[in-house]
Structure 1
Amino acid sequence: MTATPTTTSGGTGAGSSAAGDGPVVPPSSLQVYRELGDLKRLRDARGEGSLADRAFVRSWRTLLADPSPAAVQRLALRETAHALAAARLAGVDAGVLALAGLSRQERLEVLRRAFDAVTSTAEGGLGDLVDLRAALDPDPLDEALLPAEPGFVRALVRQPRAGATHPVRPRIVVEPPESHGDHCFATAVYSALVAPRHGVPRGEAFLVALAHHLPNGDLPDAGFGGEVLLGEHYLPVLAALEERSLAQLPAAVAQRLRELLPQRELADNPVGRVFNTADVLDRVLQVHHHARAAGFTADQALDDLDIVHPGAVQQFQLRVLAEAGIP
């Protein structure tokens, strides 16, 4: 599934920028990554699990429908583009907009508006996004036409992440835990965004991250502490259970993953650098999310986020709160 990198911006998404040109993840882009991470926590009534979990399942089903390099590239572009739009629109996607009667052009305008709103906060720190913006699809995806996902995919959606653990210290338990589907999809989208900085096609980067927790289809997550305590058994256990998941895939897909996945173990190659950038971002931003949630104050909602929205009834609502003694 390896695509040939191009030196033209906006083509396959593996543009000419080198990692040495500046930070791979500039501070100006962190808000976008945080908002993308929130897809692990956003839900709606149209399906089970978070938006990220559902995108994780959909991505695997789409991959099985056509695992060719070109199709994997299209998958990465489409899912990443729509994830960026969903960072602001949440579950209001092309399907909902079509149900509400918006024309194809109107749906595309809404998706582009959301995409531009979130990406503009990065002040160019995400690099060239022409190929991603062009991948916004106003036509709802008919998931009924896609093949069923392998068993390990649903298992990863059910399998919670361990969070922060240590071999000689008590774990820090945070609720609710994210799933492995959440983490893999977020890491896949982050990887697709970072990939051009290292000359890696977005599709290849997306695929590695999507598949990087195959052993956890069977292996409950005990975190870093569990890895250390498994000791000499840890790598053999991972290898055996990864093969159990690979065996559920078509032979060509499994073989390509056997070639790609080992590259993520080190940062001495482009695929490894992309993956490890995205993986550490997601793991640490997840911890920051829990810290922010624990420190959330009413003032942030009232003053910073305008929970009492500007509009025709805002002054009336503010008076109600003031008279009730609610600051």
Structure 2
Amino acid sequence: MSPVGTAHEPDTLGVPRGLGDLVGLFREIGDLKRVHVAGRPGSIADHAFLRAWSALVAGEDPARVTASECAAAVAGARLAGLDGPVLCDAGLTADQARAVRTRAIEEVGAALPEGLCALLAAAPDPTEDAGPTPAFAATLVDQPRAGATAPGRPRLIVEPPEDHGEHCWAVAVCGALLAGETGAEPGDAFLLGLAHHLHNVALPDAGFAGEMLLGEHLEPMLERLTERELGTLPDALAARVRDLLTARADADGPLGRAFHAADVLDRVLQVHHHARAAAFTARDALVDLELVHDSPVSAYHDAVLAEAGLVP
């Protein structure tokens, strides 16, 4: 991996265009790792990761799963837990719920390549309860990621750590959204993202520092553990995932470029999240995010805060 700051010409490396415009959307999608809904274990990202694997193992078309999960992720960037089942349970019709989802997709997806928003808006809703949750997927949701580590140095501990299910889901979604720009198939990018940490079902994450200490044992160990989990998948799905995993080796082809762009962006945006959280101030909420926003009682709210000495 090239050191951060090494100069390269993006055009010669096949880097997807317009990443600067997409970072905001990818950051909001990544924030679903930190959004929870009552009655669901884990984050919204965890729920989507488990839901996608359940649908795939149940035999759903990967292209359909990709489209539905990407649409849910882009809409969820603004709607959070207000998905179709919740809105319908609250009294909306199915058409009304989809119209709300479409508004969210259009609002947050303006930076996406032309035509992609329309494809996402037309995508079906994810299938809930498609079948049992695969054991490996549940374990990845329970397996914390190491975060930033470097050989010979103490690890940087940040709380709470993300889990492997959340990371794999974010890479799957962002890779699929980037696939059109690199020439990859979105379904392939999505599957590769979901599966690229299968070895961590059995292998606790020690990060880059731990991997370097494993030395010559690392690659054979990763291959054995990955193959062990592939053996639990239906044969056709296992064969497809096994083939896609070879694209992790480099960024020379369309699929490798989509995957590695999504992977590195998610890892770095995760660090940016912790940095933002550590630097957060009350003024950020009160002024920039308008925590006390305009309403019929705004004057009263302002007077209460002034009396309490809490005006920013």
TM-score category (smaller protein): over 0.9
- What are the Cα deviations for residues 227-250 of structure 1, in whole angstroms up to 9, with x where unaligned? 101001111111111111111111
2:51 maps to 1:51: no
Shift in CA distance, 20/212, structure 1 to aligned 2, threshold 3 Å: closer
Residue deviations 1:52-71, cap 9 Å, x none?
Answer: 0010000000111225xxx1
AA matched with 1:223: G
Aligned to 1:91: 81
Equivalent position SS for 1:164: coil
Residues 251, 167 of structure 1: alpha-carbon distance in 2 compared, 3 angstrom cutoff: same
Q: Which of residues 148, 158, 169 is equivalent to 2:142?
A: 158
Deviation at 1:19, TM superposition (A): 9.6
Runs of 4+ with >4 A deviation: 18-23
TM-score normalised by L of structure 2:
0.92
Give the equivalent residue in structure 2 for 1:128. Answer: 115
- CA deviations on 1:2-37 (whole Å, 9 max, x unpaired) are xxxxxxxxxxxxxxxx99998534312211010000
Q: Is the 8 A contact 2:51 2:128 kept in 1?
A: no
Q: Secondary structure at the match of 2:155?
A: strand
Deviation at 1:96, TM superposition (A): 0.8
**Which of 28, 32, 35 is equivalent to 1:39?**
32
SS of match in other structure, 2:95: helix
Match of 1:247 in 2: 231
Calculate percent identity across the aligned residue pairs. Answer: 51
| Deviation, structure 1 residue 128 | 2.9
Aligned partners of 2:233 and 2:16: how far apart in 1?
A: 37
Task: Quote how far apart the aligned CAs of 1:90 are.
Answer: 0.4
Could you tell me which amino acid in structure 1 is paired with residue 26 of structure 2? Y
Q: Report how far residue 271 of structure 1 moved.
A: 1.0
Q: CA deviation at 1:152?
A: 0.9
Quote the residue 1:14 is aligned against: none
| Contact kept in structure 1, 2:14 and 2:257, CA below 8 Å | no
Alignment of 1:323 onto 2:307: yes
Tell me, which stretches of 5 or more residues in structure 2 are unaligned? 1-10
Q: Distance in 2 between matches of 1:277 and 1:218?
A: 26
More contact order relative to length (CA 8 Å, sep ≥ 6): 1
Deviation at 1:265, TM superposition (A): 1.5
Shift of 1:147: 2.1
Matched residues in 2 for 1:46 and 1:75: separation?
23
- State the aligned residue count: 300
Query: 22, 33, 53: which is aligned to 1:60?
Result: 53
What is the Cα deviation at residue 93 of structure 1?
0.6
2: distance between equivalents of 1:136 and 1:166?
A: 43
Letter of the 1:194 counterpart: L
* Runs of 5+ unmatched residues, structure 1: 1-17
Contact 1:24–1:194 (CA<8 Å) still a contact in 2?
no
Q: 2:199 aligns with which of 207, 211, 215?
A: 215
Deviates more, 1:209-218 or 1:24-33: 24-33
Q: Deviations over 1:35-57 (max 9, x none)?
A: 00001110010300000001000
Q: d(CA) in 2 for partners of 1:273 and 1:134? A: 26
Q: Which of 125-134 and 249-258 deviates more?
A: 125-134
AA of the residue aligned to 1:95: P
TM-superposition CA deviations, 1:133-173 (whole Å, max 9, x none)? 21153xx7441xx2212211111000000000011111100
What residue number does 1:3 align with?
none
SS in 2 for 1:172: coil
Task: Tell me the secondary structure at the aligned position of residue 311 of structure 1.
Answer: coil
The separation in 2 between residues aligned to 1:253 and 1:271, in whole angstroms, is: 18
Residues 132 and 207 of structure 1: CA distance in aligned 2, closer, same or farther (over 3 Å): same
- Give the superposed CA RMSD: 1.7
- Taking a change above 3 Å as real, the CA distance of residues 234 and 142 of structure 1, as seen in their structure-2 partners, is closer
Residue type of the partner of 1:91? Answer: G
